[in-house]
Amino acid sequence: MAIEDLHKDIDKAWPIHLKRTRELLRIPSVSFTGEGIQESADALQEMVEKLGVKAGQFRASKKSHPLIYGHLDVDAKKTILLYGMYDVQPVGNLNEWDRPPFAASIVKKKGEDRLINRGVYNSKGSLAGSLLAIETMLDGNEMPVNVRFLLEGEEELGGRSLPEYVKKNKATLSKADAVFGFDYCENDQGVPVVTAGMKGCLYFDLIADGANQGGPPNEIHSGDAVWVKSPVWRLLKAVSTFVDDNQVPIVDGIWDDVKGPGREDRELIKALAKRIDMDAYKRNLGVDDFKFSGSKEELITKYMFEPSLNICGFEAGYNGVGTKTVLPSHAEVKIDIRLVPNMTVEGTVAKVMAHLKKRGFGDIKIRRYEDYPFSKIPASEDAVRSNIEALRYHGKEPEVWPMIAGSAPFYLFDQVLKIPWSGTALGRGGNAHAPNEYAVVSTMRDYEKSVITVLCKYGEADSRKR
């Protein structure tokens, strides 16, 4: 039986695989500073080429971080795209790390060996593991699918290289059958989480400036506030109309396109509600209560299928120690709106701006960023079903979430290329974007085995080629 043999090969090769994973992790690849990005990209390209693939690097512009691409053709019936990311967050305050962030140290904690390194969990550890799993399958002469690699270095930046590469190579890439992007997907209880949808993320700044409203172009003495209008009040009054007292979005028309869960979603939610411990979820977040009361099912449904409108940051005037009596000339707010089916990025922006204009806030300007629409595939897709079957093969019954509130640019796959995506694998870690980011070493080995299982199951599955 091929799967079992391949798993045994992983066990045999594990010391080498762990060593090679640590070597990759020790090369920094900090998205915001660019530190180590090129060296990491070159090391990854070498790993891909070791699979017998001619690989290359693509950049949207000179300043972009390279995307590694390549095509492994084993003459299999099906072709997958393998999505991965090699860029990582900055390390932050070094003093908060128990070990240096790029030393790939292994330490014992809570009775398990943990590998500590920036990016090991999000997501360079699993990326290395995917490539090593494929290498093992090739060595075992049991490669069930062809693979096109899409390994980006701008995930943390929301860069242009992946979308531009996908759009430029749409004809070729859309011939693939599915996309897999394998992460360490076990939660704290060791339950793997299968995701079949992600909310979109619309992020923008709104800016009120005295110069745009016939008001003070520079900071003035606050005594004049008695007769001079402040851009801070304008922005605050404008933005406060975006949500109701329960902080639910009420931008004019924002609910028009909200579709809510379908039949399949409702069934999955029903099953999920039986398994999820909401108190543990609240404890993790540190909150006493949610915005809403209701059954678990009702809460989860809102979580998945309602939009949120959140203030990520607000800044105006003097915020140092003590007092400064000024009427500021400028105020900015950073907002993210999580988009659910069938909200669109541009439709939502238009609604926000119309909402402001209607209330006399036409002077407030918007600053845009790279946005993601939502991304959603039926849980009945072969890619997802093979994934679930594979996890069951490993004795784990996964939670299947039809939607999560996180976002990634997977619309490129299901909306642009029109192919489904999946990618739950074993593996457990934590502290993404935080100090002491880690992965549990034993689960990193399980991860490689589960990637093999998924690809084998998917290779066997009766594909409905779309």
Interface with a second copy in residues 245-264 (CB under 8 A)? 245-247
Interface with a second copy (CB under 8 A), residue from 227, 279, 395, 465: 227
Q: Tell me whether residue 208 or residue 417 sits nearer to a second copy (CB atom).
A: 208
Distance CA 55, CA 47 (A): 10
Buried b (16+ CB within 10 A) or exposed e, 111-124: eeebbbbbbbbbbb
Tell me if 369 contacts a second copy by CB under 8 A: yes
Joined together, the tokens standing for residue 419 give 């192919």
- Residue 182 binds a second copy (CB under 8 A): no
Site for a second copy in 282-301 (CB under 8 A): 285-292, 299
Out of 203, 374, 411, 438, point to the residue binding a second copy (CB under 8 A): 203
CA 374, CA 342: separation in Å to the nearest integer?
A: 8
Per rule CB under 8 A, is residue 237 in the interface with a second copy?
yes
**Of 114-173, which residues contact a second copy (CB under 8 A)?**
157-158
Closest CB to a second copy among residues 233, 255: 233
Q: Is 404 in the site for a second copy (CB under 8 A)?
A: yes
Instruction: Determine contact, residues 334/313, Cβ cutoff 8 Å.
Output: yes
Residue 216 interacts with a second copy (CB under 8 A): yes or no: yes
The stretch among 303-311, 383-391, 412-420, 444-452 that binds a second copy (CB under 8 A) is 303-311
The reply on whether position 178 binds a second copy by CB under 8 A is no
Q: Which is nearer to a second copy, 12 or 368 (CB)?
A: 368
Q: Which of 122, 407, 422, 424 binds a second copy (CB under 8 A)?
A: 407
d(CA 101, CA 187): 23
How many CB atoms sit inside 10 A of residue 266's CB? 15
Rounded to whole angstroms, how far apart are CA atoms 236 and 230?
A: 10
CB of 298 to a second copy, least distance (A): 11
Q: Is 319 in the site for a second copy (CB under 8 A)?
A: yes
d(Cα 281, Cα 203) in Å, to the nearest integer?
26
Q: What angle do CA 300, 307, 31 make, to 5 degrees?
A: 100
Sign for the pseudo-dihedral over CA of 129, 135, 141, 147: positive
Which DSSP category does 176 fall into?
S
Q: Restricting to residues 65-94, which ones interact with a second copy according to CB under 8 A?
A: none
Q: Which residues pair with 105 in a beta bridge?
A: 116
State the Cα angle at 257 between 256 and 262, rounded to 5°.
120
Choosing from 49, 113, 252, 332, the residue that interacts with a second copy (CB under 8 A) is: 332
Q: Is 323 in the site for a second copy (CB under 8 A)?
A: yes
Q: Is 189 in the site for a second copy (CB under 8 A)?
A: no
